């Protein structure tokens, strides 16, 4: 049978499809795999206990359960959840928002699809527009949202070396150019894959650029505040009517419930609501229904600030120490881990590509993500993109440690082999 161009694109493979297939396969054969490549959050016992208790309470309330499972929400999502979240955002951050500024989606990927196509692509009577990524590497899930269209234009970061073992990316504002075909500026904060948290100064400059060019600034805060708030430095969480914030329940510990949240100007929310109705009638009810009371009584903030964030802060220190031990004597730097649930490793001068390293590690039962997949819209060759990998430190500590040890062995093998050939 013949597929349309759309069907051919879907059949051609993608980085995000490979990632999700790897996750699925590893769950089937988990006894032999070290899953350091996926985005699943940790199963934190205290967090799981709270969610199980909330689910038990929901099931015990016949009226709530029947309404949750037996009725569609409106295309904007659970009205009670939206009301509670608007109240929380006003109280926590002082944002001037109401429920009209909030829409639920079926996960962040659905949010990005709607938003990117609102502000990029073909415009009636005007030239096509693109999404500006002021710093790459960026989230792998953005890459194919254009469904074959080249929606992105990205810039290399400046690199600050920190001591012997760390580095940090910064937006290179001297090179950053907002052209007339820019439809929106997009950043993730904290950044997936690197764990980078853009500074308040960087966010302030991006706000100024967006306002000056009459385009929105979209901030992907799937790992940020107010929940799950996996952000280690002290930073401001900002919003105004020219900023679009994308939140999620996934990294709170509920990825299977596929709940994305968009906070934006009412005009944007009406468009996202229309996308929900057209693509899926309405967003799912389970996620908002489960946590609405936690948003309402603010216990979701205590859970994020005093359980989830400290858990990951301790885990990342442990993981960095394992990397330093496993790669001792070899050129490996870790991007300063400021948030999210990943480490971004840079092997300067790596004799093989990170894709080849990924294949070698996969054959040994270790799943990572090759760096090549995290540079949507970056033009020109840059060797750095082939020298990095993303690993997750969120899974079972013993498995993470074992996987990092194998990474060290394979990286050493690559460098040592190249050195032997050059002699």
Residues 192-208 pLDDT 10s: 999 999 999 999 999 99
349 by DSSP, 3-state: which?
A: coil
Mean pLDDT confidence for 265-286? 96
* Residue 161 near residue 336, CB atoms below 8 Å: no
Cβ 130 vs Cβ 182: under 8 Å:
yes
With residues binned 3-state (H G I as helix, E B as strand, rest as coil), the percentages for the chain, rounded to 5, are 45, 15, 35
**125 pLDDT above the threshold of 70:** yes
30: pLDDT strictly greater than 60: no
What secondary structure letter does DSSP report for 386? G
Sign of CA dihedral 199, 209, 138, 295: positive
Per-residue pLDDT at 219 exceeds 90? yes
DSSP assignment string, 233-253:
S-------TTEEEEEESHHHH
Least confident of 35-44, 94-103, 296-305, 317-326: 35-44
Percent of the chain with pLDDT over 90: 83
- CB distance 254 to 47 below 8 Å: no
Q: What is the DSSP letter of 74?
A: P
Which pair of structure tokens corresponds to residue 334? Answer: 């870790």
Judge whether residue 27 has pLDDT over 70: no
Strand partners, 202: none
pLDDT value of residue 323: 98
Cis peptide before 96 (omega within 30 of 0): no
Q: How many CB atoms lie within 10 A of CB 91?
A: 12
Best CA proximity match to 338, nearest among 222, 197, 176, 187: 197
172 pLDDT higher than 90 = yes
% pLDDT > 70, the chain: 95
pLDDT digit string, tens, across residues 45-76: 999 999 999 999 999 988 889 998 899 999 99
Domains of the chain, with CATH numbers?
5-47+303-417 (3.90.1150.10), 73-297 (3.40.640.10)
Buried-state track 363-378, b at ≥16 Cβ within 10 A, e below 16: eebbbbbbbbbbbbbb
Averaged pLDDT score across all residues of the chain: 93
Phi-psi category of residue 162: left, alpha or beta, with phi > 0 → left and psi -120 to 50 → alpha = beta
Q: What integer pLDDT is reported at residue 137 of this predicted model?
A: 97
Rounded distance between C-alpha atoms, residue 7 and residue 1, angstroms: 11
Mean pLDDT of 337-357: 97
- Helix 62-70 to helix 286-296 angle (10° resolution) is 140
Preceding peptide of 38 cis, ω within 30°:
no
Q: What is the pTM of this model?
A: 0.93
Distances from the Cα of 333 to the Cα of 161, 318, 321, 373, 412, angstroms = 9, 16, 12, 19, 14
Task: For 39, list phi and psi in degrees, rounded to 5.
Answer: -110, 10
Residues whose CB is less than 8 angstroms from the CB of residue 333 and which lie 6 or more positions away in sequence, other chains included = 161, 165, 166, 167, 345, 346, 348
What pLDDT is recorded for position 1? Answer: 76
Cβ atoms of 140 and 369 within 8 Å: the answer is yes
């Amino acid at each position: 049978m013949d597929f349309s161009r759309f069907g051919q694109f879907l059949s051609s493979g993608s980085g995000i499809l490979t990632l999700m297939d790897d996750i699925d396969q590893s769950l089937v054969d988990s006894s032999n795999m070290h899953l350091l490549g996926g985005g699943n959050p940790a199963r934190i016992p205290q967090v799981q206990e709270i969610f199980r208790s909330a689910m038990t309470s929901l099931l015990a309330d016949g009226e709530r359960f029947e309404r949750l499972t037996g009725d569609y929400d409106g295309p904007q999502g659970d009205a009670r959840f939206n009301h509670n979240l608007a109240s929380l955002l006003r109280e926590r951050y002082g944002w001037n928002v109401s429920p009209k500024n909030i829409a639920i989606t079926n996960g962040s990927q659905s949010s990005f699809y709607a938003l990117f196509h609102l502000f990029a692509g073909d415009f009636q009577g005007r030239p096509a527009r693109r999404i500006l990524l002021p710093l790459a590497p960026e989230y792998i899930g953005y890459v194919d949202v254009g469904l074959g269209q080249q929606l992105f234009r990205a810039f290399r970061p400046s690199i600050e070396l920190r001591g012997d073992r760390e580095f940090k990316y910064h937006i290179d504002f001297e090179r950053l150019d907002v052209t007339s075909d820019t439809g929106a500026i997009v950043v993730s904060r904290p950044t997936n894959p690197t764990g980078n948290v853009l500074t308040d100064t960087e966010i302030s400059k991006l706000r100024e650029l967006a306002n000056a060019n009459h385009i929105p600034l979209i901030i992907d805060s799937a790992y940020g505040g107010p929940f799950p708030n996996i952000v280690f430095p002290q930073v401001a969480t900002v919003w105004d009517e020219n900023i679009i914030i994308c939140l999620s329940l996934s990294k709170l510990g509920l990825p299977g419930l596929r709940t994305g949240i968009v906070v934006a100007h009412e005009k944007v929310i009406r468009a996202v609501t229309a996308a929900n109705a057209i693509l899926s009638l309405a967003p799912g009810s389970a996620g908002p229904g489960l946590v609405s009371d936690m948003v309402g009584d603010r216990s979701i903030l205590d859970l994020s600030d005093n359980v989830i964030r400290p858990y990951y802060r301790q885990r990342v220190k442990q993981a960095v120490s394992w990397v330093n031990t496993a790669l001792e004597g070899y050129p490996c730097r870790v991007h300063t881990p400021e948030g999210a649930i990943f480490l971004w490793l840079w092997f300067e001068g790596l004799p093989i590509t990170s894709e080849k390293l990924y294949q070698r590690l996969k054959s040994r039962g270790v799943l990572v993500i090759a760096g090549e997949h995290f540079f949507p819209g970056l033009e020109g060759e840059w060797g750095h993109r082939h020298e990095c990998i993303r690993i997750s430190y969120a899974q079972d500590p013993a498995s993470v440690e074992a996987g990092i040890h194998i990474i060290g062995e394979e990286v050493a093998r690559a460098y040592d082999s190249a050195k032997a050939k050059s002699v």
